[in-house]
Chain A
Amino acid sequence: MPVVSTPATLKPAPAALDNAEVLRIRNDFPILGRPVNGHPLVYLDSGATSQNPASVLEAEQEFYEQRNAAVHRGAHSLAVEATEAFEAAREAVAGFVGARGNEIIWTSNATEAINLVTYAFSNATAGRGPAAAQQFRLGPGDEIVATEMEHHANLIPWQELAFRTGATFRYIPVDDDGGLRLEEAEKVIGPRTRVLAFTHASNVLGTINPVRTLVELAHAQGAFVVLDACQSVPHLPVDVKELDVDFAAFSGHKMLGPTGIGALYGKAALLNAMPPFLTGGSMITTVTMEQAEYLPAPQRFEAGTQKISQAVALAAAVNYLQETGMDRIHAWETHLGQRLVAGLEAIEGIRVTGPKAGSERIGLAAFDVDGVHSHDVGQFLDDKGIAVRVGHHCAQPLHRRLGLVSTTRASTYLYNTTDDVDAFLDAVAGVRKFFGVAK
């Protein structure tokens, strides 16, 4: 089989990642060898999109060269092999997050995964779905709760669901250190709460939210929990069963996989109670000129030709991450994240958002440079071959809360060395002088 299946148990982790091993890891990533603007590429934008190891690129090419066919239809050999590869990929990705295969739905990206949930709830509200879909109906008096630190992808779909159903949208505010105000969460989450949607790790602040605490608050009120796991699944060990979330969304291209694929995890009983979102081919049992009946999850939610090569490549990415070890990746990125924050805090005129140095955060840092717009900071860094993200990072309300319009963000992954971080810090130290706002 072309797809490397998930090992049942992770190999015992060898010693922690270090620069020497990271240098070996870098050799697996072709793009990291190219120069940018005459400098070696320092890629610190993995929070937006990660790079691909050769094994991922090869898996996709191997699929197209050897097995390309439509899945779940057709009786010929290629179709059978394609279907097997596609479903083995689902098992691999499910295993990676502690789920069962039938609990993972392929989507185009995490945004679509969250929209799938909101539109399934909408359709249930409109009376569609099996009898058990009643549990998803929303109306006036019901409340949907998110947080002030959400990416727009886990914010706007809920605002829109509230508008469509008459439910009320509420949110948990953040504190000045970039954490959720849990005492407020206890007030906001109440008997009217039907959904709690929040991010596992903030793409701006770097904060890791206390998932279990929030899940318990929500479940005590009978609310569903939807977790945005885009910044956690790629970077730390995540077990959706242990977290006990009802739904979780993550995206392939942030975890060494290709663009165009994401996944929605949902508890099987919930998925099978939900009406579909997108409808059409490959998701039905019987169709008449009047109506249709639907397959169980995951096929119920996978209308039309699927993201087959992307799924196969994503499984190769998951395999790469597992072979390296998520515990080790998390420990290394924690180290890099602390180095980033401590270094930035030491530079005059820099304000880092989120937890202070020494407090837990994922391996990224977003910051403001006094007197210099983030676009100019990004341009200055790009000139030195350093790739960072600038702007509001799809989190306008959070930036407003911080009193900022935009920030510059450096985000690390398993292929970044401490030299990358230091080159970045050196460059940032020269920004204000270049733009004439510091001596």
Chain B
Amino acid sequence: MSSDLEQLYQQIILDHARARHGSGLAEAPAGDRVGESHMLNPTCGDEITLRASVHDAGDLMTISGISWEGQGCSISMASASVLHDMGTGLRRQDLLELVDHFREVMRSRGALEADEEILGDAAAFSGVARYPARVKCAMLAWVALEEALLAAG
């Protein structure tokens, strides 16, 4: 098997694509603000509905839950699963910065090295950046999260 393909489909991605952490829309904790977003990639039919809840403690807003339902390729499903693991519990602002950083790496066509310190498991998607046609797959859940957080306010 060529190393290029294995760079793209790292084991961590294949594992997440099967495990699908956060799959199944979950009820938000009582009192938390909730937002939902539905995203569709019309070229391939990949689809995701993502729900995010925000716990507002006055000066500190944290992500109390990220859950989702969807269908699609291993890249899009794994990326939603990783996002669930990474995002839950983060401060709202930190998560938004993480999304920005992830997008920057994805759009770099491989020019930007993914920083594992920052991106954690999401660094496994750095191989996707060299396949422009697949960047949308990796970004699907992350863009849905941004929308869901906007909706949650």
Contacts of B4 in A (CB 8 A): 37, 383
Per the bound structure, the CA–CA distance linking A21 and B53 in Å amounts to 64
Chain A contact residue count (CB 8 A cutoff): 20
Contact A436 B5 (CB under 8 A): no
Given the interface contacts A391-B43, A391-B44, does A373 sit within 8 Å of B73 by beta carbon?
Answer: yes
Instruction: Tell me if B14 counts as interface (CB < 8 A to partner A).
Output: yes
Contacts of B46 in A (CB 8 A): 375
Contacts of B9 in A (CB 8 A): 376, 379, 434-435
- Chain A binding site: helix, strand, loop or mixed by DSSP? mixed
Name A375's closest neighbour in chain B (CB-CB): B73
Per the bound structure, the CA–CA distance linking A111 and B14 in Å amounts to 39
Q: Which of A37, A373, A390, A405 has the most CB of B within 10 A?
A: A373
Contact B134 A375 (CB under 8 A): yes
Q: Which of A374, A375, A434 has the most CB of B within 10 A?
A: A375
Contacts of A37 in B (CB 8 A): 2, 4
Contact B44 A390 (CB under 8 A): yes
Contacts of B71 in A (CB 8 A): 405
Instruction: Tell me if A406 counts as interface (CB < 8 A to partner B).
Output: yes
Question: Smallest CB–CB gap between A427 and chain B, Å?
Answer: 11
| CB-contacts of B127-143 with A (<8 A) | 131, 134, 137
Given the interface contacts A373-B73, A436-B14, does A383 sit within 8 Å of B5 by beta carbon?
Answer: yes
| CB-contacts of A362-403 with B (<8 A) | 372-376, 379-380, 383, 390-392, 396, 399
Instruction: Tell me if B23 counts as interface (CB < 8 A to partner A).
Output: no
Contact A376 B18 (CB under 8 A): no
Contact B14 A379 (CB under 8 A): no
Give me the 9 closest cross-chain CB pairs, A-B, nearest first.
A375-B73, A373-B73, A383-B5, A405-B45, A391-B44, A376-B73, A376-B74, A436-B14, A406-B45
A contacts, CB < 8 Å to B = 37-38, 372-376, 379-380, 383, 390-392, 396, 399, 405-406, 434-436
